[in-house]
Amino acid sequence: MADDNSVQSAIEGLDAEELRGPMSGLDPSVEALLLQPPLPPAAATAAPGGAVTLVVGLPGADQVSVAAAVATMLGEEVGPRVALLPPEGGQLRGEHFGMALAAATAVQPPSRRSQQHHLVLATSSYIGLMEQLRMLAAAAVGGAAGRWRLAAVVVCVSDDVSYEEPGRGAMAGGLLAQLLPGFVDCVVVGGSNTAKVSELSQLVGYRLPEVAQVRSSRTQLLRARQELLPPPAERAARLASQRAMADREAWAPLAAASAAGGSRSHGGSAAGGGLLGPLRASRVVFEGALDVNRLRDALADLGIPQDPSKAPRLPLGDVDSGPPGEAGAPSAAEAPSSSSSSSSSLVCVSGCVRLSQGAGLSELQGSRQVAPRVKEWPLRGDVPVVMGAPALPADGQLPGGDLLFVGSGPIMEPKRLQALLERCGTSGSSAGTDTPTAAAAAAAAAGAVTTAAQLTAAQRAAIRAAHLWDPLPEGYCFNGTQYFDAFGDASLEHPYMSRFISEWLSDQRAQEAAREALRETERGPGAVRVVGVGGPVRL
């Protein structure tokens, strides 16, 4: 029997090994990426690659503005590139980082292959910083795109999207997981409410006491080169300090446990969502002039912004709603098909739009704190976007846009988002909600049923009643309530019920096609036409 001191020493050794081992979450590749020194000039031509500035944040947290400011600071002599991830507005995955690095390497002009170039990676996700650094490390160190070094890690925090439920003070999922001590070089703090921004700044200061903070206005960003692009030697010394090392060893296990818990619960990395349930994202690409005022009115009933006079009720969204067939999502039979709009909630909407013919690009953002508003799109034409550029009309002049909706509940279904946007065009007759055609289109989209599993009990009962006395197969009989086969087995449904359901679904699809054709003929020059919907995708 070992004495107490020996047992205690063994336990301490196991604890130390766990902190240094893979169970701790302190991934050696992440540590190597953080502490990797810059390549000397003579080694720049040995292999493709360069420097990466990683800009992370929740959806709608001003990542695009920060990426544009960093690219402007780097200037033409460095040839900066920008990648907006995830490219399709869905869940951020590891292959996205590799694709972005490969795209940046491919577009590098031959005349500059001997120079160290720079890529600004801006991610919009609820995934924690540790997991994102793991993805980047896997792609940046020894990958097919060459060897890249990490120049800076910038976290964007905005009051406008930091609270999932402002009325209850509930912070958005993933926010604290991105403010990870020992990994961050700079935090950009912004928002529209000065008092809330001040509170958020205090939280960041408490969480990351030695990390520089910069306000998100363009003027402040352009003045903060030293914070956003720290000198490599100074940054390496700070990250290698005992304080930073201790922070990483202390916080990495918690980040790893959080990510593992999200993976076990939702079939993926840590999922966003708390009071609203698991969040989903849908990307909508449209053509036509969008009326921002109508969009504000349409989104007001969906929680953008939250009405301060109404106390939020629980549950705010579907507890486990997701697209059929996706990991952690209910099957088609379990998916909601006729829920009311009150069970739907949006967390934020963001994207790039051109509001009128020949107008410049605008960034549209709305959240549970602020109504949708537009401002100038930060990424001008002189900054090339190698991945994740918004999908806009090809001629560069026609109105249109690319919007990402994040929320929960039935509103995230493609038909509903399509109907919502088509009512928000500038055309008074075709897009207005007061016309019978638009109202019928909205109702049809809200109750669209495409499979037998999505039928409600009322719809199934109506089909049964319509075919109650239809001819029966040989050997069957009907007593007015039940059907009996030749062996006396009873059933409440007609033997040909599956055929009747298929015919009913075919009729519904034909009616929807006719309604769509009617909408096409009634669309005027100011109408919005949805050309693509991606999702919904569990975040």
For 490-534, what is the HEC assignment? Answer: EECCCCCHHHHHHHHHHHHHHHHHHHHHHHHHHCCCCCCEEEEEE
Question: Is 21 inside any structural domain?
Answer: no
Examine residue 319 and state whether it is found in any structural domain, yes or no. Answer: yes
The pLDDT of residue 164: 77
Tell whether 82 and 187 lie within a shared domain. Answer: yes
- What end-to-end distance do the CA atoms of the chain give, in Å? 51
Given a contact cutoff of 8 angstroms between Cβ atoms, the answer to whether 410 and 335 are in contact is no
Other C-beta atoms closer than 10 Å to the C-beta of 383 total: 17
Cα dihedral: 250, 254, 260, 263 (round 10) = -130
Write down the pLDDT at residue 16. 59
How confident is the model at residue 432, as a pLDDT? 41
Tokens found for residue 458: 């009322």
End residue of a domain, out of 263, 296, 328? 263
Q: Decide the pairing of beta strands 490-491 and 483-484.
A: antiparallel
| Strand ordering across the sheet containing 490-491 | 477-478, 483-484, 490-491
Question: End of a domain among 203, 229, 263?
Answer: 263
State the total domains in the chain.
2
In DSSP notation, 208-265 reads STTSEEEESSHHHHHT-HHHHS--HHHHHHHHTSHHHHHHHHHHHHHHHHHHHHHHHH
Give the pLDDT score at 40: 59
Q: How much is the pLDDT for 315?
A: 52
- Segments forming the whole domain that contains residue 233: 59-263
Q: 418 and 371 share a domain?
A: yes
Domain contains 449? no
pLDDT of residue 49: 64
CA 262 to chain centre: 16
Residue 532's DSSP bridge partners are 285
Buried-state track 335-365, b at ≥16 Cβ within 10 A, e below 16 = bbbeeeeebbbbbbbbbbbbbeeeeebbbbb
The verdict on 255 and 288 lying in the same domain is no
**Tell me, what amino acid is at 294?**
R
pLDDT computed for residue 318 by the predictor: 44
The reply to whether 258 and 288 lie within a common domain is no
| Residues 247 and 128 grouped into a single domain | yes
From residue 522, how far is each of 92, 106, 130, 416 by CA, in Å?
Answer: 39, 45, 51, 19
| Proportion of the chain in helix, strand, coil states, percent, rounded to 5 | 40, 20, 40
Return the pLDDT at 85: 93
Do both 258 and 297 map to the same domain? Answer: no
Q: Do 385 and 288 belong to one domain?
A: yes
- Report the alpha-carbon distance of residue 415 to residue 404 in Å, rounded: 15
**What is the full per-residue pLDDT of the chain (539 aa) written as tens digits?**
566 777 777 777 656 555 544 445 567 778 778 777 665 555 544 555 688 999 999 998 989 999 999 998 887 656 678 999 998 877 899 899 999 988 888 877 655 555 667 899 999 999 999 899 989 988 886 554 557 889 999 999 998 888 877 777 778 888 888 998 888 999 999 988 888 889 899 999 999 988 999 998 888 998 899 999 998 888 888 888 878 888 887 777 666 666 665 554 444 444 445 566 778 899 999 999 999 999 999 998 888 888 766 655 555 544 444 444 444 444 333 343 333 344 678 889 999 999 988 888 999 999 988 899 999 999 877 788 999 999 888 777 889 999 999 988 888 988 899 989 988 887 644 434 444 444 444 444 445 667 888 888 889 999 999 999 999 999 999 998 999 998 989 999 999 999 999 999 999 888 888 877 766 655 555 678 888 888 888 87
Residues 305 and 248 in one domain: no
Same domain, 254 and 290: no
